[in-house]
Amino acid sequence: MHPIQCVRRSEQDPVKLRLHGDSLRIRLSAADVSTLTTSGEVVCALPFSNDKCLIYRVLIGKENLEAAFEAGAITVRIPKLAVQGWDKSKNATLWNGTAGKIRVLIEMDLPCRHT
């Protein structure tokens, strides 16, 4: 892993993180999904006023869903086969499952289609 700087991402292209009870939900923009499929990871930081950050990342793993919290970072590894072709799919949900005691939902944040 490389060090992560605590910087704000563009407000127009945010990764959305939601924690509730025993569940973790991550919504990735289309650009983030493209980054994930090409580079194998998407990393974000939520800066706090004391120069500390909550880091959250989605990585392509091997076969099983994994979720961990270590050294101030939430890391979710999703199976490589689940990610292949997702950037071209119209399916919003990439992964809905459990990693240990945590329920994990990873979605693509699709644009609204108002007519």
**Pairing status of strand 73-79 against strand 53-61:** parallel
Which residue has better confidence, 98 or 87?
A: 98
Percent of the chain topping pLDDT 70: 83
pLDDT in tens, 4-55: 444 444 445 568 889 999 999 999 988 888 889 889 999 988 888 788 888 9
CA distance 53 to 51: 7
- Which DSSP state fits 98? E
Whether residue 36 contacts residue 42, with contact meaning beta carbons closer than 8 Å, is answered with yes
- Reading the block at residue 30, the tokens are 């289309």
Task: Please state, rounded to an integer, the average pLDDT across all residues of the chain.
Answer: 82
Whether residue 6 contacts residue 47, with contact meaning beta carbons closer than 8 Å, is answered with yes
pTM: 0.80
Give every CB contact of residue 76 below 8 A, 6+ residues apart in sequence: 24, 26, 56, 57, 58, 59, 65, 66, 67, 99, 104, 106
